[in-house]
Structures are given as structure tokens and as C-alpha cells.
Chain A
């Protein structure tokens, strides 16, 4: 099967002067946020010398991990031409369900079911994320419901389930196995950061070097062509949705471990930041375009902005306003630095 059609090359096409492969101009788009990040670093240093301290930078990166994992999942979904809004509920609900099944019925402040041993909490949490992704896939791919509104409905429903199960309170009795990853440090850097970087690298490699990863771009760019080329579009899309759910649930594990509790509003309102980071990072909402490196720079940019604002002593009541305004500004800037329309 190696020899493809090779008609006797009647006229060997010189195809112009032979050029060394160099980085195409389009590739620079992925790096368009790097100068912005450097600029933010300078601004941060001017605002407060504490910015460049190791503790602060590690704090920024640690806070980026949970959002980063959501963005990673969302980026995969967006590249394959779909949307999943329910990720922001998954990050809260998946830990709650896992803890509810694991925590004892009596003795703690929160009455769980105590059905399973506590070491199953993390696998359970991931399984819940997978189930949510599978349900989204069922709605979108089997029933052919509009993905935007279906996952928006899922977002609302899961948020309600979260509140119902947790009775509107924070869950603080987190088993050690569940809290470990979010709390521990490896080589002086939080484990969550290593894991997040590893997952981004893994995802980037899969998108670049795996057949099924490349297929995501084809599915997002032109689903009909992908189908005609023999790509199992539905199966792959479904897998991506499940993967996004699992990543969101894992983000929930890290977040819960980091703060030692699951708050009733965990993840609430994140989805805007998730989409903003993805779009700023060069991922097209129409599918078929973007890289995970770009998405990662988008996440870092957003987190740095928030950090600089905090260090600058912005009154807390104004942070939300400034946050929204800065995201809009970042969108406009990235629109022009990348030179592409974000449709």
C-alpha cells in the first residue's frame, strides 16, 4: 500500500525554486500573544515589585491550571466544530457527586451515601465527567439537537443538581486521596502545574501527530469532506466531548484539592473566561483552526491580567467590570495581532 498512483511522470514538475521549509507566516499567529504576556510582565513589575517574586508567579500559574484544563477541553471541542458550555458546571458537579457517593452518611457535616471506599473518589469524579460528555454527545450527535442550546441546558441543569446534592453548602471533608493532587508540590512547583503542562503537551502532540488528532481539524473545517474521506466524524466528535468532560472533572479534582473544599458556586461563570481564553489564543469558534499552544497563552494572558489588577489594588467591587473590559480589549488586540477575523 505504499506505492501510490505514480503515473510515469511525463514532465517532472520543477514546481519553482526548491525552498527550504521555513515557518510559514501563519505559524506566527500561535505566538502572537507571547509579546502581550511579556508586556504584562513589565506592567506587573511597574505596578508592584512583588509581581516578579517566585511565590506570585507560581500562584498565577497554579490558578491558571484549573481554567487551563477547561480551556484545553473546550479547545478540542471548538476545533472539531462544536461547543460545550456545560464544562463550567462539570468542574463543580463532578467532585460533588464523587464526594456524595464516598462520604459517610453520618459523622460529617455533609451526609453522603458512603456507598464506596474513599479511594474511588477520583475515578468516580472522572467517570461523572465522562458521563456528562457522553450525554452531551448523545444530545448533539444522536438527537441532533443544537449543541449550543443543549449544552446551555446541561449547564443549568447540572448547576441545579450541584446545588441540590450539596444542599447549597460547601463540602469541606474532602478525602486525602482526592485532595492530594491539588495540594502537593513536585520540585517546588505545584503538581497541578506539571500535570496541566503535561496534558497540554500531550494534547498538542495528539493534534499534531495523531491521525485522529488531525481529523479534528478536518471535521471542524469541513465535516462533509471529512465524512467523504472516511473519517468517522460522529465517533471522533463523541470521543472529544467525553474527553472534554473528563478534563473538566479533573480540573474539579485539582481545584477542590487546591482550596480544600467544593464551594456551592465552584466554576460558576467560568465559561465566559474559557471561551475568551480560547478565542484570544487563536481558536476559531467556527472550528478547524487554532492550536493548543495558542490556547495556553490565552489562559496565561487572562490570569496575568487578573493578577496585575489584584496587585495594583483595584477595589474588589470593580474587578468584575475591569475583568470584562480587559477581556474585550484583549479580544480586539488579538484580532489585530493575529490579523484574522474571529468569526
Chain B
């Protein structure tokens, strides 16, 4: 438990949350306008030292803006920010802000080509102008060890996984003296064990008096880690309360501004089991003996008409690779894929599309969207036929087509011509899903379709997937998020590239998580999976 080297911050190992102690950050009456839109409207926020404070809200509620204000990236139009009782640094002095607060994961401030040690001490190298590598690495090692981070200081940053990267960023922020760390969706790219390790580390740091502002769409994570939660809605703070006494329903109600009681039945139509899957002989999608060396072993999979099948497993466990093979992005080493009984040429996206496989990629920013182009163009990227004769694309038909998709999926946009980068995360994801559906596929393969979207969009997206299947087509959801898999008729759990178990509707979350982790018995799940059967189960 060494304190941060060079940090001027308090170093007492364990401190009682003394009443007189100034808060780690206190923001009062923050107002921020972007042109005509009011992004923050008199928001208050107080985070005590050693507190884990959750900031939740739907996309567009003002979370990112508040984080920008708190980290000195944006200048508020009104209001005050104070760190540890002292007014915040002048606006436009990034070094001074970095000594107070750091934001991990949003606009990562690291240099991928440099070593971990260099990144830790960027522009603060010990010694004179000549770089003393040995000393630098030594200090980096001490620093990392001090926070219990097991990373080689000589490794290049780009070689690290997401999880280690986050630890390095946290360590760097703390070494600069920051006592408040903003974590913006830190778990979005982690699998369950990674999340467990991250949370363990965060708890240790809290014991040292480090405060966290935790932004997440996963209410279970909020519950597992945080003690206070602040809800933003429409640029206003609507609620600040201890997490302990707050039901998930109340939280969702605060976020959406609706009464959760009325909303719940409208959720993905899980409870009334849909008319038994209309499996009329041949499945819409079948994979036999599919294998990709280093990712997954021989694997059989079948999706019937009217069925939603879940492929559950950690991202590193080969499930994403299965989806990529099905979509034609990778060539399998062995096995065959058929759609409605007809074989699909492997390793070719156009053939997979023609055969009727619609694909929703894992990361919409990397593989899903062309950010500078319009909603209409992104929607019709894969469409060939109906936009015009002989390979032409008539703008009027494109816009009409896009309008239909926008209406069908309820995409919130100013129109087909809006650049897709201007949409909120949930609506961007709807664009990606709509595109996968644009060619009327026989089966929809969706990887983590609700990644990084707010609660309402999540429900809408899963509802769309369900409707696809109810319309007589098939759907395959690849995810490690139990909430995504609730709508599935069947869930196949994969661990290290092999099928471990299969669940029928009505599974217990603990069992599924255990199977995904390769544990046979129902051991206590990691923090992502606290027993939520009371909130998520089949009971109404």
C-alpha cells in the first residue's frame, strides 16, 4: 500500500470518512450550453473521498458533458467546481487539472507506440534531458507494484489488453496526484473475470481514499461497486441517493422518467413464452463442425425459424470469432455453414449476405458505421437491389428506403441526411441493426447488440431481434451479457471455444455465468452477476 510517488495527496492508509473532510469534488449549479441545446442545467454533484459514486442516465442525458466539465475539457457557462475544497484550476491548464482528476477510457490519453514506463512518466521523466532507461523502468515498476498492477514496464502500450491498459491509466492518474478518477464505461470491453479484477482493484484503491465517479449502463455493476448514485435526465440531476436502498425499478424509473411498474410488461416479450418455435424441419442457419484454430473447436449450431438462440461466452472465448466466421469475415479451418439448407461459401461477406445472413458487428465504431456519412448511406451500405436499376443508387429511393428503416426501428434522427456521427449511441446501434435487416436476411447474427447503449435503447434493440424471429426468421445473439440473452429461446454456453452447456428459457443467471466461466457448479458469480433473479427473473 505505498502511496503514489510524487503525489501531494493525503497518504493516511485508512481514513474514517470524517465529516469535516472536504469532498473530493464538489460541483455546484453547472450550466453548459452547446449552441441552442442545454447540455447541463444547474447540475450539482458531490463525491466524497473514498466514495464510489455512480453517474447514470440515458444517452444524451448530459453525463459526458458533466465529465468534460469535471475534467477541465469543457468550460461551464455557469457554476463552480472545487476539488478537495479548493476551487478548480484555471480553465485551459490541463496539467493542473490532471493533478486533480483523471478520466480513464474516454479519449485515451496514452501513446500506443511507447512503452508503459514512458507513458507513465510522459513529459515528467526523472533526471535530466538524457533518458535513463533503467531508472525510468525501475520507477515505473515501483509505481505499478504500488497499485498492485502486474504489467511489464518495458512492454509497449499497444501490446496490452484493455484491462491492463485501464490499470496503467489509473496508475498514471494517481501518480500525478489525482484523487478522483472518472471511469467512463470501463467495463464495456472487458469480459467477466476482467471486470471482477477491475472491481477488486477499485475497492482496494477506495480504501486508500481514492474517489471514483463511475459511469455505466449496467445497473448491476453500479450496484456491485458503488455506494451512491446520481441520475441525470434531460440535462438535470433528478436523483442522488445511496445505492443500497434503491431498487433497480426505481433507478430505471428515474432515468427514463416513467413509472417502472407500467413499463415492465412492455419489456422484451419474455414472460408469455412465444408460440412454440415454428421449427419446420430445416433450420434457417446450421453450422456443422465449424472450427477456427486458436479460437474455437469443432462446433455445431442450429437456429430454427422463429427462434432466437444465444451464444453465451466471454469475448476472448471464441464466440465473437464464431460470429465473424458466420458473417464471412473470417474463413473457418473446417466445417460448413448452410442457410435454409443451402451451403454458404465460407470467408466471403457478399456470399454470406446473399445467402441471407445479416450481421451486427461487435464494435459499431470500428466495424459498423462510416461516421462521416449520412444515416441513409449507412443504412443502405449493404443494399443492392431496390435502390435503382443496374447498380445505380437513386437518392430519392435511398431516402425513401432509409425513412422506412428509420420508422421501423424508431431511430431518433433529424432525417436520413443527418451524419450518423451525430446520433446518440443507442440510435447509432439501431442504424447498424437496421442495416443488417435491410436485405431481409433469413437469420440475424448480432454480436453484443446492446453494447454501450442506454436502458431504453437496449430494450428496443432486443425487441427488434425478437420480432425478427417472431416473423419466421432466425436470430443468433452472441453475448456475455445475461440481459441480452433473456430474450433467447435457447442459450448455448461456450467456454474456451467449446460448447459447455445448453439452457432452455427460464435459466438462472448464476448457472449461465458459471457455464460461461467454465465452472460447472453454481459458484458465486463475479460482480457482474449478483443475484438478480429477483429483478430479472421470470416473475413479473
Contacts and interface: CB of A to CB of B under 8 A. Distances in A.
Interface of A: 1-7, 9, 11-13, 15-16, 19, 21, 24, 26, 208-215, 217-218, 221-222, 224-232, 288-289
A222 B377 CA distance: 13
B395 interface: yes
B366 interface: yes
A26 B421 CA distance: 14
B382 A230 contact: yes
Nearest to B353: A230
Interface stretch (B24-32, B244-252, B434-442, B504-512): B434-442
Most buried by B among A214, A288, A289: A214
Interface in B39-59: none
A6 B406 CA distance: 10
Interface string B386-403: 111001111100010100
Max chain B C-beta neighbours (<10 A), residue from A11, A210, A226, A229 = A229
A230 B406 CA distance: 21
Residue in B377, B381, B382 with the greatest tally of chain A CB atoms within 10 Å: B381
B391 A210 contact: yes
Contact of A24 (B353, B417, B435, B467): B417
Nearest to A26: B419
A228 B401 CA distance: 20
Contacts of A215: 381
Nearest to B351: A230
Interface string B355-395: 00001010000111111110001000110111110011111
13 contacts: A7-B408, A7-B471, A13-B410, A210-B392, A210-B393, A211-B393, A221-B371, A222-B369, A225-B370, A228-B329, A229-B435, A230-B349, A232-B350
A21 B415 CA distance: 9
A21 B414 CA distance: 11
Name the interface size band of chain B. Answer: 35 or more
B15 interface: no
A214 B408 CA distance: 24
Contact of B394 (A209, A217, A221, A224): A209
B352 interface: yes
Given A13-B410, A16-B414, A209-B392, A4 B373 contact: no
Contacts of A4: 401, 404-405, 408, 437-440
A218 B437 contact: no
A2 B370 contact: no
A209 B377 CA distance: 12
A228 B437 contact: no
Nearest to A284: B372
Nearest to B382: A229
Nearest to A13: B410
A220 to B, nearest CB: 8
Contact of A7 (B392, B414, B467): B467
Contacts of B382: 229-231
Nearest to A215: B381
A15 B367 contact: no
A153 to B, nearest CB: 24
A218 B370 contact: yes
Interface string B406-431: 11111011110101000000000000
A108 to B, nearest CB: 46
A214 B393 contact: yes
A1 B386 contact: yes
A204 to B, nearest CB: 13
A91 B28 CA distance: 65
A13 B392 contact: no
B407 A12 contact: yes
B369 A1 contact: no
B171 interface: no
A21 B401 CA distance: 15
Given A1-B439, A15-B406, A222-B369, 11 more contacts: A2-B385, A2-B386, A4-B439, A5-B437, A5-B464, A7-B467, A13-B407, A208-B395, A217-B372, A226-B381, A231-B381
B314 interface: no
Given A1-B440, A4-B405, A12-B407, A228 B368 contact: yes
B370 A288 contact: yes
B381 A225 contact: yes
Given A217-B370, A225-B369, A230-B352, A6 B417 contact: no
